[in-house]
Amino acid sequence: MAKIYPERIPEYIKSDPKRSAEIKVYQALSQLPDSYVIFYGVGWQIRTTYGGAQDGESDFVIAHPALGVMILEVKGGQIRYDAKLKQWFSVDRAGVEHAIKDPVEQARNSKGTLLRKLQELPNWDNRFLTVAYQVVFPDVIVENINLRPDLSRELIIDHRDLSDIERKVQSGFEWFFGNERKRGDLGIARLHQLENLLASSFTLKTPLGVALEDEDKRLIELTEDQMKVLRYIQCHRRARIEGCAGSGKTMLALEKARQLSNQGFATLLVCFNAPLAEYLRLRAPEGVDVFNFHDLCRQLAKEAGIGFRSSNNEQDYFNRVLPEMLLDAIGERGPQYDAIIVDEGQDFLDEWWETLFFLLNDHENGIFYAFYDNNQNLYRRSSGLERLIPSPPLTLWENCRNTRSIHDVVKQLHDRPEALDCRAPLGRKPEVFFFSDQHQQEQYIQSVLHHLVIEEQVEPSHIILLTTRNPERTSFFSKRRLGNFELVHLGDSHRGMVIRTSSVHRFKGLESRVVILTGLEDNDPDWLSPILYVACSRARTHLIMIAHERSRQQIEALLQRGAA
């Protein structure tokens, strides 16, 4: 039997009564010997002399290495030609007549455009090729007469001819060979080229970068739980809001700051991390003051004329000296704000809360909201915030930042995993690579970056490389090159083949479409679990961990629990 494309008639064609004539021809042609190759319902385009495109198509193309190429144009139903109108008609089973295109002209045009298309192919052998054509009327019987000067009986295949299709196709070729028997054979090589042209299978792969972008757009932006929180705090001047990683605390803090500012309240939005403060500053409405806590201390101390003060060490300077300078500045200049919103409140020391409350114009009834997640308490700080806001906290249990595959891992590290929920797209499973030395670690990271950016077309700006220590104290310091990629600080401008780096601590409160996490060299669960909780939850759609062999057992167990 002949090789035929497609191998089976698609269901949508079988169920279309208008295609019944083509189906009859398909079934007949499939009985040709295996030296024939049949193409059903094919089309092509050629370039015109003026630079445009011209379409070509055929109901069937028959190819034979020794005979050449035959084009078939099929017209079903009862056929009528009106010479006065120069118009062809087809009558369907219901007796309704329809005007149809001239099948001879269609076949002739298809012959010309197919020849030109073949000649456009690279390495096409331009020696003479027989390209014949016939018209097929599978529902009628044509007497042995010439219907038109350009339509001899040899060019017609009717209902009776379908039962002896090979003889009829060969007689059609013979007609075009003529008396001189000039054969323009196709040959095996050109037959393969014709197959590649008319029946080439292909797969259009979705690069990971495109898939991640699509998943990113589908992540839930505002859940019903978050709406409830907004409605609640509109009626309460003070509230603690606890939420799991990815529950939208930062988004709610920004939205509440916008609402308060629009209502005329002097509003402060404050957090612990400087990069998070910069993120908030870019998104907060005009009129909202945004600071990280220590910059707030410096700014108000400067405005109050308070100069430099010495400290015992860096930790003492940040934990005690700067907050004391802020308290003194408040004493000099007085309260500054009607409303204060704190994001990532788990990073604040107890005594800082007291100082922030002194910034309120109305110390007793001023507006104060604190958003936090005690599972992200990397600095192991206790909080006495409940003394200042004694009402029970509102809790956000739904993760709307991460895909479910990432969430399923992150929730294993939460103190109440059974309470957490996620309705985001499933996404892809987190990947993990284990290294035994620094050289292998760097090779893995370089290979992952190449795969993501070069092969999967992920934008470098959507990737963050997180380390468990300050990157400057690792081999992934700023300006370091890894193959084609340059590493830069989190806050540096980045274009082209540039990858941002940050410590996990400094990236708290922020997020990225893709997170590559490395530096997981300690297998102490008391250290590893909080780091993983914060770092893994930064990845919205794709997470890759490059960890030391020492942590293999804990990480593999975590991933298995997440996949269960």
Most confident residue range from 48-52, 381-385, 474-478: 474-478
131 & 171 share domain: yes
Which residues on adjacent β-strands are paired with residue 514?
463, 542
pLDDT of residue 47: 82
Residue 424 lies in a domain: no
**Distance (Å, rounded) from C-alpha 540 to C-alpha 251?**
15
pLDDT in tens, 533-556: 999 999 999 999 999 999 999 999
238 & 337 share domain: yes
- The enclosing domain of 48 has a CATH number of 3.40.1350
pLDDT of residue 147: 86
What is the token pair recorded at 556? 């593999």
Is residue 163 predicted with pLDDT exceeding 60? Answer: yes
Percent of residues, the chain, with pLDDT higher than 90? 67
**Which residue is it, tokens 């028959």?**
62
- The enclosing domain of 519 has a CATH number of 3.40.50.300
**Distance (Å, rounded) from C-alpha 430 to C-alpha 445?**
15
Residue 303 lies in a domain: no
355 & 499 share domain: no
- Listed residues 147, 166, 198: the one ending a domain: 198
Is residue 383 predicted with pLDDT exceeding 70? Answer: no
257 & 138 share domain: no
pLDDT in tens, 332-367: 999 999 999 999 999 999 889 999 999 999 988 899
pLDDT in tens, 122-149: 899 999 999 999 999 999 999 877 788 9
pLDDT band at 401 (very low <50, low <70, confident <90, very high): confident
What is the token pair recorded at 528? 């590893």
Residue 96 lies in a domain: no
Check if the beta carbon of residue 266 is closer than 8 Å to that of residue 337: yes
**Distance (Å, rounded) from C-alpha 537 to C-alpha 246?**
7
115 & 237 share domain: no
Residue 413 lies in a domain: no
Is residue 272 predicted with pLDDT exceeding 80? Answer: yes
**Distance (Å, rounded) from C-alpha 77 to C-alpha 56?**
24
Percent of residues, the chain, with pLDDT higher than 70? 96
Is residue 61 predicted with pLDDT exceeding 70? Answer: yes
Residue 408 lies in a domain: no
More confidently predicted of 376 and 170: 170
- Listed residues 183, 198, 213: the one ending a domain: 198
Domain extent, residue 486, equals: 431-563
Average pLDDT over residues 34-45: 94
Average pLDDT over residues 267-275: 95
> Is the peptide bond between 6 and the residue preceding it cis, with omega within 30 degrees of 0?
yes
Residue 352 lies in a domain: yes
- Comparing 46-60, 184-198, 409-423, which segment has the lowest mean pLDDT? 46-60
500 & 360 share domain: no
Indicate the length of the chain as a whole number: 564
554 & 441 share domain: yes
441 & 346 share domain: no
**Distance (Å, rounded) from C-alpha 161 to C-alpha 142?**
10
pLDDT of residue 495: 75
- Comparing 35-44, 298-307, 341-350, 377-386, which segment has the lowest mean pLDDT? 377-386
Average pLDDT over residues 424-436: 93
- Listed residues 141, 166, 198: the one ending a domain: 198
Cβ burial of 212 (10 Å; 0-12, 13-18, 19+) is: buried
State pTM to two decimals: 0.69
pLDDT of residue 222: 47
**Distance (Å, rounded) from C-alpha 183 to C-alpha 529?**
78
465 & 548 share domain: yes
Is residue 219 predicted with pLDDT exceeding 70? Answer: no
Residue 317 lies in a domain: no
In order of 62, 273, 329, the CA distances from 311 in angstroms are 90, 21, 18
pLDDT band at 198 (very low <50, low <70, confident <90, very high): very high
111 & 154 share domain: yes
pLDDT of residue 308: 82
pLDDT in tens, 220-242: 554 566 777 788 888 889 999 99
Is residue 39 predicted with pLDDT exceeding 80? Answer: yes
Average pLDDT over residues 85-97: 92
Number of domains, the chain: 3
pLDDT of residue 382: 58
Cβ count near 114 (within 10 Å):
25
pLDDT of residue 172: 93
pLDDT of residue 231: 81
Q: Provide CB contacts within 8 A for 526, sequence distance 6+.
A: none
374 & 490 share domain: no
Average pLDDT over residues 482-492: 88
Which residues on adjacent β-strands are paired with residue 372?
242
503 & 472 share domain: yes
Residue 308 lies in a domain: no
pLDDT band at 218 (very low <50, low <70, confident <90, very high): low
